[in-house]
C-alpha cells in the first residue's frame, strides 16, 4: 500500500454509506420508462471483441448485408476500469473488458460527439453472444444491462445469438432486432474464417520479417482488399488470391532460431490482442518467440462438436422430453454435419487461395479422444476439454516448445478445472513445457516475469533442435518465401525448413 492509500479515509461511517438507507427493490432488466426506439433499419449496431483484423472484416461483411454496424475499438485497460466501476463484483475479466468497452464507447459518443443519452439509447444497440453457461457466461447480458443502466443508458438494447446454436437460431428468437438468418451467419463466419487465416499467416511471418512493421502493413492492405470484396459482393476467393502478391513482398529471414509458443486457454483471454491478456502475443514476439494462436474457428468447431455430442448422448435418455435439446431430429443432425463441412470447405478454399498450406483445422474428435481419460466430455463451459487436449496434442505431435494457457483471474472452467487436470497431464508427459497464467487486468510485471522464465527453457529447446541437424552447403531461396511451408516432425520454423532440404546447417546461423 502506498502512502497516499494509507491516508485515504472514508468520508462516511459504515452506517452512513449512501446505499445503506436506500429502499430495496427487485432487479428488473426492462427499463423503467417506455422508450420509442428507432426502427431496426435505422438502428446502429455495435459489437467487437474479436481480433483487430476480424472486427474490421466483420464490420464490412455485415454492412454488405445492409446492416448499419460499427465495430467497437479494441478493449483496453480503461475499458476494464469502466467495467469494474459499473459492473457487479466478482465477475471475470472478459466481462469487465467487454462490458466496460461498450459503456466507454457510449460515454465517448455522449461527451465528444454531443449525442444525448436518450438519443444513444434510442438509436444504438449492441449485438453479442449469449447463452446459458455453467460459468459467468450465462450472466453476460444481465451484466451489460446493469452496467449500462448505472452509467445512464437505461434501456439500451442488447441483442444476442446463442454461441452454441450457430446458424440455427431462427426458431428460438422472437422479434429479433437483427434477422439472424443462415445468410447472416454464413457471411459472418466467412469473415471470421478469413480473419483467422490472415492472423495465422501474420503470426508465422512477423517474427521473421527483416523490416519491422512490414507484415502488419501488408496485412492491413489484405484486410482492405477483402473488406472491399465483401462490400462490393465480389469474389472473396479472388481477393484472397490477390493477397498472395501483397504478402510475397514481405522480406523474411526464416532461419532465425525462435521457439514456437502455443497460446491457448480461455477463449477470450487467449484470443484477444490487447490489454485483456497484457498483449501476450506481441510480448512473446518481442522476446524472440513465434506464436501459434488459437483461431476463433476452433471455438466454433467445438460448439458444433458439443451440440452433436449432446444430441448423440440424449438418444440414450429414457425420458423423451430430455431429448429435445439444441439439435434434435435427423434434420438438425444433418444440418450440423453440413455446417461442419461447409466451415471446413470454406477454410480450405480460402487458405489455399492465399497460400496457407501448413495449417489444418482442429479435429475435435481426435482432441476429445486425447482428453477423454482426463476430462469428462459431458462438461462444457469455457473451452471444455480443449485446453487439456491441446497440451496433450502439442506433446504427442511435437507442435510447440512451450504451451501457455492464459485465463482470466478466477475463470471457473479454465482455472478451476482445466488447470487442476493439467498437473496430472504434465506428470504423465514430463517433457511438456507448460505454463498456466492468469490475467487480472492488473499485475502485468508478475505475468511477464512468469512467461519469461518458461520462455528461457523453450529457447534452449529450439536451439538444441537445430543443433542436432546436419549442416547444409547452400540455402535455397525458397526457404524465405512464406509460401514454402514444409510439414515434418520438427517443431521450430528454422528446424522444419532445414530438415525439409536435408542439407547441412551453417554454423554461422547458430545464435
Q: How many residues does the chain have?
A: 511
State how beta strands 124-130 and 69-71 pair. Answer: unpaired
Asked if residue 226 binds ligand SF4 (CB under 6 A), the reply is no
CA proximity to 79, closest of 96, 59, 62: 96
CA distances from 455 to 260, 286, 392, 405 (A): 10, 12, 19, 13
Give the whole-angstrom CA distance, residue 459 versus residue 320: 56
Sole binder of ligand SF4 in the list 53, 57, 125, 135 (CB under 6 A) = 135
Sole binder of ligand SF4 in the list 215, 294, 414, 418 (CB under 6 A) = 414
Q: Which stretch binds ligand SF4 (CB under 6 A): 68-76, 132-140, 225-233, 356-364?
A: 132-140
CA proximity to 309, closest of 258, 361, 252, 376: 376
Sole binder of ligand SF4 in the list 100, 130, 382, 384 (CB under 6 A) = 382
Q: What are the grid coordinates assigned to 19, written together?
A: 446505499
Asked if residue 411 binds ligand SF4 (CB under 6 A), the reply is yes
User: What number of chain residues touch ligand SF4 (CB under 6 A)?
Assistant: 13
Residue 143 beta carbon to ligand SF4: minimum distance, rounded to whole angstroms: 10
Q: What is the dihedral sign for C-alpha 423, 426, 430, 432?
A: negative
Which CB sits closer to ligand SF4, 142 or 398? 142
Asked if residue 130 binds ligand SF4 (CB under 6 A), the reply is no
Q: In sequence order, what are the beta bridge partners of 71?
A: 47
Asked if residue 259 binds ligand SF4 (CB under 6 A), the reply is no
Sequence-ordered alpha helix ranges (H) in 8-92: 52-63, 77-86
Give the whole-angstrom CA distance, residue 296 versus residue 278: 19
Contacts of 342 (CB under 8 A, 6+ apart): 186
Which CB sits closer to ligand SF4, 195 or 413? 413
Residue 158 beta carbon to ligand SF4: minimum distance, rounded to whole angstroms: 16
Q: Which stretch binds ligand SF4 (CB under 6 A): 130-138, 231-239, 270-278, 299-307?
A: 130-138
Asked if residue 144 binds ligand SF4 (CB under 6 A), the reply is no
Residue 266 beta carbon to ligand SF4: minimum distance, rounded to whole angstroms: 5
Sole binder of ligand SF4 in the list 80, 105, 137, 347 (CB under 6 A) = 137
Asked if residue 266 binds ligand SF4 (CB under 6 A), the reply is yes
Sole binder of ligand SF4 in the list 100, 166, 295, 413 (CB under 6 A) = 413
Residue 76 beta carbon to ligand SF4: minimum distance, rounded to whole angstroms: 18
Q: What is the largest CA-CA distance in the chain?
A: 82
Asked if residue 136 binds ligand SF4 (CB under 6 A), the reply is yes
Q: Which stretch binds ligand SF4 (CB under 6 A): 22-30, 106-114, 134-142, 339-347?
A: 134-142
Site for ligand SF4 in 417-476 (CB under 6 A): none
Contacts of 269 (CB under 8 A, 6+ apart): 93, 94, 276, 277, 406, 407, 408, 411, 414, 439
Give the whole-angstrom CA distance, residue 486 versus residue 149: 54
Q: Which stretch binds ligand SF4 (CB under 6 A): 10-18, 238-246, 408-416, 465-473?
A: 408-416
Sole binder of ligand SF4 in the list 83, 100, 265, 408 (CB under 6 A) = 408
- The site string for ligand SF4 over 82-111 (x = CB under 6 A, - otherwise) reads ----------x-x-----------------
Helices (H) and strands (E) in the chain, counts: 18, 8
Which CB sits closer to ligand SF4, 414 or 433? 414
- CB atoms under 10 Å from CB of 318, counted, come to 6
Q: Which stretch binds ligand SF4 (CB under 6 A): 239-247, 410-418, 420-428, 442-450?
A: 410-418
- CB atoms under 10 Å from CB of 218, counted, come to 22
Residue 458 beta carbon to ligand SF4: minimum distance, rounded to whole angstroms: 26
State how beta strands 124-130 and 290-292 pair. Answer: unpaired
Dihedral angle over CA of 472, 478, 484, 486, nearest 10? -20
Residue 91 beta carbon to ligand SF4: minimum distance, rounded to whole angstroms: 8
Contacts of 189 (CB under 8 A, 6+ apart): 167, 300, 343, 346
Which CB sits closer to ligand SF4, 259 or 293? 293
Give the whole-angstrom CA distance, residue 226 versus residue 247: 14
Residue 438 beta carbon to ligand SF4: minimum distance, rounded to whole angstroms: 10
Q: Which stretch binds ligand SF4 (CB under 6 A): 107-115, 128-136, 451-459, 469-477?
A: 128-136
Binding site for ligand SF4 (CB under 6 A): 92, 94, 133, 135-137, 266, 382, 408, 411-414
Amino acid at each position: 500500500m502506498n502512502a497516499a492509500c494509507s491516508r485515504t479515509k472514508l468520508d462516511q461511517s459504515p452506517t452512513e454509506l449512501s446505499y445503506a438507507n436506500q429502499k430495496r427493490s427487485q432487479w428488473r432488466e426492462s427499463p423503467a420508462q417506455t422508450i420509442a426506439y428507432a426502427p431496426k433499419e435505422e438502428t446502429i449496431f455495435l459489437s467487437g471483441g474479436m481480433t483487430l483484423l476480424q472486427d474490421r472484416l466483420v464490420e464490412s461483411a455485415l454492412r454488405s448485408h445492409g446492416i448499419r454496424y460499427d465495430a467497437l475499438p479494441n478493449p483496453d485497460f480503461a475499458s476494464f476500469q469502466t467495467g469494474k466501476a459499473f459492473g457487479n463484483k466478482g465477475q471475470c475479466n472478459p466481462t469487465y473488458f467487454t462490458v466496460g468497452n461498450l459503456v466507454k464507447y457510449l460515454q465517448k459518443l455522449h461527451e465528444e460527439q454531443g449525442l444525448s443519452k436518450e438519443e444513444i439509447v434510442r438509436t444504438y444497440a449492441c449485438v453479442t453472444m449469449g447463452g446459458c453457461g455453467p460459468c459467468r457466461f450465462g450472466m453476460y447480458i444481465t451484466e451489460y444491462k446493469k452496467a449500462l443502466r448505472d452509467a445512464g443508458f437505461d434501456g439500451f438494447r442488447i441483442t444476442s445469438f446463442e454461441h452454441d446454436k450457430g446458424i440455427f437460431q431462427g426458431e428460438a428468437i422472437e422479434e429479433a432486432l437483427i434477422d439472424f438468418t443462415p445468410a447472416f451467419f454464413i457471411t459472418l463466419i466467412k469473415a471470421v474464417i478469413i480473419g483467422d487465416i490472415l492472423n495465422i499467416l501474420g503470426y508465422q511471418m512477423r517474427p521473421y520479417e527483416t523490416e519491422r512493421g512490414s507484415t502488419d502493413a501488408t496485412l492491413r492492405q489484405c484486410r482492405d482488399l477483402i473488406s472491399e470484396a465483401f462490400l462490393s459482393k465480389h469474389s472473396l476467393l479472388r481477393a484472397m488470391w490477390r493477397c498472395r502478391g501483397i504478402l510475397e513482398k514481405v522480406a523474411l529471414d526464416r532461419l532465425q532460431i525462435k521457439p514456437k509458443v502455443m497460446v491457448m486457454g480461455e477463449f477470450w483471454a487467449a484470443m484477444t490482442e490487447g490489454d485483456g491478456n497484457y498483449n501476450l502475443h506481441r510480448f512473446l514476439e518481442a522476446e524472440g518467440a513465434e506464436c501459434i494462436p488459437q483461431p476463433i474457428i476452433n471455438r466454433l468447431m467445438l460448439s458444433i462438436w458439443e451440440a452433436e455430442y449432446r444430441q448423440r448422448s440424449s438418444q440414450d435418455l429414457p425420458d423423451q422430453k430430455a431429448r429435445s435439446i439444441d439439435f434434435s431430429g435427423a434434420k438438425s443432425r444433418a444440418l450440423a454435419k453440413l455446417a461442419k463441412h461447409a466451415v471446413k470447405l470454406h477454410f480450405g478454399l480460402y487458405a489455399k487461395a492465399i497460400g496457407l498450406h501448413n495449417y489444418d483445422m482442429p479435429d475435435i474428435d481426435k482432441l476429445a479422444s486425447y482428453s477423454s481419460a482426463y476430462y469428462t466430455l459431458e462438461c462444457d463451459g469455457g473451452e471444455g476439454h480443449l485446453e487439456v487436449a491441446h497440451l496433450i496434442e502439442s506433446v504427442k505431435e511435437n507442435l510447440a516448445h512451450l504451451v501457455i494457457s492464459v485465463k482470466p483471474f478466477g475463470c471457473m472452467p479454465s482455472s478451476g478445472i482445466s488447470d487442476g487436470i493439467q498437473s496430472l497431464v504434465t506428470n504423465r508427459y514430463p517433457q511438456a513445457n507448460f505454463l498456466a497464467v492468469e490475467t487480472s487486468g492488473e499485475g502485468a510485471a508478475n505475468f511477464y516475469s512468469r512467461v519469461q522464465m518458461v520462455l528461457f527453457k523453450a529457447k534452449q529447446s529450439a536451439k538444441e533442435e537445430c543443433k542436432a541437424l546436419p549442416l547444409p552447403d547452400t540455402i535455397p531461396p525458397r526457404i524465405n518465401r512464406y509460401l514454402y511451408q514444409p510439414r515434418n516432425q520438427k517443431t521450430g520454423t528454422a528446424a522444419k525448413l532445414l530438415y525439409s532440404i536435408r542439407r547441412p546447417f551453417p554454423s554461422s546461423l547458430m545464435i
